[in-house]
C-alpha cells in the first residue's frame, strides 16, 4: 500500500493542496480553491485536503504552510490578517482530529526557506537566508541544516528589521522596518508620492499603482520606476549585509513577486550589500539569487516539513 | 590523576589564563600578563598557559577566547587589530604543537555568550542573545542550546547591523553600524562634539572624554551625559528589537563596560525596544539583563567551550 504526504499552502486569497508519494517530488494531484466561500477557510482547507487524499492509501503526514505569526510547536495560528477567523486557531488539532495522522504547520516564509534548501536554489547549502518580497516581507533561515524557529517559533521575521529610524509606517504598526520601504506596496506608494509631486514617468498620476506596474515600467527604461526599485533594493541590500554579519550564510535567496524585477532590483541590492558589509570575507563564495521554486515554494516547503517530521518519527 | 581544562582569555591589552579541574567551576590558579613584552603575544600566551598547567596532572583540553574575526573550525585568527602579528595566525595549531592536547579557539564575544548561557545570566535558557558594548560591540547567540557560528564562523557580529544609513563611520570602515553610534568611544565622541558646540555639562570641553567619564557624569545627573547614554541606548534598543524578530530569544544579556551605566542606559534601551518591536509576543517572558560574569566572562566562556569539546570527544 502506497504512503503519501498531503501538503497545503494557505495564502491570503487561495488555498492549494497536493499529494506526494513519500519517495517522490512530483505530486500525483494538486487542487486550488479560493479561501472565500460559503464555509469557513479552515473547513475549506480540510475539504481540499480530503479531495487530494488517495482513498485506499496511507497518509504518512499532513503539513500546512500558513501565513501570519503562528506557533509551529503547538500548531496554532496566532493571527492571519487576510483570513477571517484565523485568530488563535488550533489548526494542527483541527486537522489531526479529522484525519488521525501526524500533522505539522509552519510559517509560509519559513517553509519557503526549507523548500528552497531541500529542493531549490539552496540545495547543498548548510547556512541559508531566504527573504520573500511581496505584499509583505517574510523570511526563513537555515542554520547548520536546521530551520531557525526561536523560543516560540517567531524567529526569522526578516522584514521587520529597522532600516530607517522614524521611517514610514510598517504594516505591523511600527516605523521604518524593511517591509515599510521595500515591500511591493511600499515601492508603489513611493512612486505615487513622486508622481503627485510632478516627477515625470510613463506611470499615470492620480491612479493607484502596483509594484508590478513599477517593475514593468522599469523594464522599459522609465527613470522614476527604476529609481523606485533602486530605493527598495538599496534598503534590502543594507538588510542583507546585516544578515550576512548575523548568519554568515553561503546563499541568500530572494523570492516573492518583487524579486522578479530583474537587474533594476538586484543591482542596487548588490551595491548596497557590498557598501555595508563589514568585511569582504562575508562575500567570498556567497551566492545571491532569486527563488527557484516560484509559486510552488509553499507546497514544496510543506513537503520538506512532511519529510522532516516523518523521518523524525522513524 | 586529576584532569584539568586550561583556559585563556586574550584581550587587547592583557592575557589571562586559568586552570579548572574538569568537574569544577572554580579555578585552582589564575594568571594575568600584558600582551606586550620582549617576546611575541602568542609566545606570551603559550608561556602563560604553561604557567597554570599542573605539572603532574592531565590536560583534557586547552581553549582560548580571542578577539577579532577568526575561524573557530580551523583555529585561525584572521585579524586581531590590537595585537601585533595576529594576522592569519594558526593559533590552534601553535598551541596544539606545544601541548599535544585538544585545543579550540573562539571569538571572545561568542564565548562570552556561551559562558553566560552555561554559568551566568543565561542558565536554563535555550535561546539567548548576548551583546557586549565596550570599545567595540560584539555579539554571541545561542539557538536551541547551540552557539551560532555560521558557515565560516563569522556569524553573530551583532555590532555591525546598520542602524543609521549614512551614519557615522564605524571601526570596520563602513557607515552607520550600531558600533559607530553605541560603542564607548562613539558615545564619548558624541559628547565631545556637543561640548565643542557649547552645550553645558560638568564634563570638560577640549579634553578627551571616555565613556566611563560620561557614565559617571550621567550618574550625577549631568544632562548632556544622560542624553549621550540615551542616544546610544536608543540605537541599541532598536537593534535589540531587530534581534528579537530575528532570533525570538527568551533572554538578552548586555555585557561590556558601557552596560555598567545603569538606568541611564537601560531605560532608553527598553523604550526603543518596545517602540520598534513587531508584536508584544516577543516581549512576553523576555528577560533583558546585564552580564552576570563581568570580567570573568571570557575565561568562563572558554571553560564552557572546553567542556563542549571534551564531551564531544567522549
Judge if A70 and A160 occupy the same domain.
Answer: no
Judge if A156 and A42 occupy the same domain.
Answer: no
DSSP output for A72-124: TTTTEEEE-TTSTT-EEE-HHHHHHHHH-S-EEEEEHHHHHHHHHHHHSTTTT
Say whether pLDDT at B307 is over 90: yes
Tell me, yes or no, whether A118 lies in a domain.
no
List A34's β-bridge partners, or say none. Answer: A14
Give residue-wise pLDDT tens across range A213-257.
999 999 999 999 999 999 999 999 999 999 999 999 999 999 999
Give residue-wise pLDDT tens across range A20-30.
999 999 999 99
pLDDT band at B12 (very low <50, low <70, confident <90, very high): confident
Whole-number percent of chain B with pLDDT over 70? 99
Task: Sort out which chain A residues have CB atoms less than 8 A from B249's CB and list them.
Answer: 150-151
Give residue-wise pLDDT tens across range B51-72.
999 999 999 999 999 998 999 9
**Grid coordinates 531549490 are at which residue?**
A120
Rounded to whole angstroms, the Cα distance separating A50 from B103 reads 57
Judge if A107 and A141 occupy the same domain.
Answer: no
Domain that holds residue B233: 123-292
Judge if A75 and A160 occupy the same domain.
Answer: no
| Cβ-nearest to B158 among A156, A246, A284 | A246
Tell me, yes or no, whether B117 lies in a domain.
no
Judge if A160 and A104 occupy the same domain.
Answer: no
Whole-number percent of chain A with pLDDT over 90? 90
pLDDT of residue A85: 86
> Residue A241's closest chain B neighbor by CA?
B161
From the candidates A231, A248, A271, A274, which should be mutated to test the interface with B, based on the most B CB atoms within 10 A? Answer: A248
Tell me, yes or no, whether A53 lies in a domain.
yes
pLDDT of residue A239: 98
Tell me, yes or no, whether B61 lies in a domain.
yes
Judge if B249 and B260 occupy the same domain.
Answer: yes
pLDDT of residue A314: 44
Shortest distance between the Cα of B82 and any Cα of chain A, in A, equals: 17
Say whether pLDDT at B314 is over 50: no
Domain count, chain B: 2
Say whether pLDDT at B277 is over 90: yes
Contact A66, A10 (CB under 8 A): yes
The answer to whether the Cβ–Cβ distance between B161 and A279 falls below 8 Å is no
Task: Sort out which chain A residues have CB atoms less than 8 A from B126's CB and list them.
Answer: 151
Tell me, yes or no, whether A299 lies in a domain.
yes
Choice between B128 and A83, residue whose per-residue pLDDT is larger = B128
Cell of A183: 515591500
| Cβ-nearest to B248 among A151, A161, A246 | A151
Calculate the average pLDDT of chain A.
95
- Note the Cα B296 to chain centre separation in Å: 11
Judge if B232 and B129 occupy the same domain.
Answer: yes
CB pairs under 8 A between A and B: 126
pLDDT of residue A227: 98
- Provide Rg for chain A, Cα atoms: 20
Judge if A108 and A160 occupy the same domain.
Answer: no
Give residue-wise pLDDT tens across range A46-81.
999 999 999 999 999 999 999 989 999 999 999 887
Task: Sort out which chain A residues have CB atoms less than 8 A from B153's CB and list them.
Answer: 248
Crossing angle for the helix pair A184-196 and A223-247, nearest 10 degrees?
Answer: 140
Judge if A148 and A276 occupy the same domain.
Answer: yes
Rounded to whole angstroms, the Cα distance separating B88 from B103 reads 17
Task: Sort out which chain B residues have CB atoms less than 8 A from A276's CB and list them.
Answer: 162, 174-177
Give residue-wise pLDDT tens across range A143-191.
999 999 999 999 999 999 999 988 999 988 999 999 999 999 999 999 9
Say whether pLDDT at B313 is over 70: no
- Note the Cα A73 to chain centre separation in Å: 19
Choice between B314 and A294, residue whose per-residue pLDDT is larger = A294
Judge if A98 and A186 occupy the same domain.
Answer: no
Task: Sort out which chain B residues have CB atoms less than 8 A from A158's CB and list them.
Answer: 245-246
Give residue-wise pLDDT tens across range B82-91.
888 899 999 9
Say whether pLDDT at A313 is over 60: no
Q: At B78, which CATH number?
A: 3.30.420.40
H or E element at residue B121 = none
* Three-state DSSP state, B312: helix
Tell me, yes or no, whether A117 lies in a domain.
no
Does the structure's ipTM exceed the value 0.90? yes
Judge if B171 and B69 occupy the same domain.
Answer: no
Tell me, yes or no, whether B118 lies in a domain.
no
Residues B275-280 have a mean pLDDT of: 93
Give residue-wise pLDDT tens across range A72-123.
999 999 988 788 889 999 999 999 999 999 999 999 999 999 999 999 999 9
Say whether pLDDT at B281 is over 80: yes
| Cβ-nearest to A279 among B69, B242, B277 | B69
Tell me, yes or no, whether A162 lies in a domain.
yes
Judge if A157 and A192 occupy the same domain.
Answer: yes
The answer to whether the Cβ–Cβ distance between A247 and B165 falls below 8 Å is no
pLDDT of residue B68: 81
List B162's β-bridge partners, or say none. Answer: B177
Rounded to whole angstroms, the Cα distance separating B121 from B128 reads 10
Amino acid at each position: 500500500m502506497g504512503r503519501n504526504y498531503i501538503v497545503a499552502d494557505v495564502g491570503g486569497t487561495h488555498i492549494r493542496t497536493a499529494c506526494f508519494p513519500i519517495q517522490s517530488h512530483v505530486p500525483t494531484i494538486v487542487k486550488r480553491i479560493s479561501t472565500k466561500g460559503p464555509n469557513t477557510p479552515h473547513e475549506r482547507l480540510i475539504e481540499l485536503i480530503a479531495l487530494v487524499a488517495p482513498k485506499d492509501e496511507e497518509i504518512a503526514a499532513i503539513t500546512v504552510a500558513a501565513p501570519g505569526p503562528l506557533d509551529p510547536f503547538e500548531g496554532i495560528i496566532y493571527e492571519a490578517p487576510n483570513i477571517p477567523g484565523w485568530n488563535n486557531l488550533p489548526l494542527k488539532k483541527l486537522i489531526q482530529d479529522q484525519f488521525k495522522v501526524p500533522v505539522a504547520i509552519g510559517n509560509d516564509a519559513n517553509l519557503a526557506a526549507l523548500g528552497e534548501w531541500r529542493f531549490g536554489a539552496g540545495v547543498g547549502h548548510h547556512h541559508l537566508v531566504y527573504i520573500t518580497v511581496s505584499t509583505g516581507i517574510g523570511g526563513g533561515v537555515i542554520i547548520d541544516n536546521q530551520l531557525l524557529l526561536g523560543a516560540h517559533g517567531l524567529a526569522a521575521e526578516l522584514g521587520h528589521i529597522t532600516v530607517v529610524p522614524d521611517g514610514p509606517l510598517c504594516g505591523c504598526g511600527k516605523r521604518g522596518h524593511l517591509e515599510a520601504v521595500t515591500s511591493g506596496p511600499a515601492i508603489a506608494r513611493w512612486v505615487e508620492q513622486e508622481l503627485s509631486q510632478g516627477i515625470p514617468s510613463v506611470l499615470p498620476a492620480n491612479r493607484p499603482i502596483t509594484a508590478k506596474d513599477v517593475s514593468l515600467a522599469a523594464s522599459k527604461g522609465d527613470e522614476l520606476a527604476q529609481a523606485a526599485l533602486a530605493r527598495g533594493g538599496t534598503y534590502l541590500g543594507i538588510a542583507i549585509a546585516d544578515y550576512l554579519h548575523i548568519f554568515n550564510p553561503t546563499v541568500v535567496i530572494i523570492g516573492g513577486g518583487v524579486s522578479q524585477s530583474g537587474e533594476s532590483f538586484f543591482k542596487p541590492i548588490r551595491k548596497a550589500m557590498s557598501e555595508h558589509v563589514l568585511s569582504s570575507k562575508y562575500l567570498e563564495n556567497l551566492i545571491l539569487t532569486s527563488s527557484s521554486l516560484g509559486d510552488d515554494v509553499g507546497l514544496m516547503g510543506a513537503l520538506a516539513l512532511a519529510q522532516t517530521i516523518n523521518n523524525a518519527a522513524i
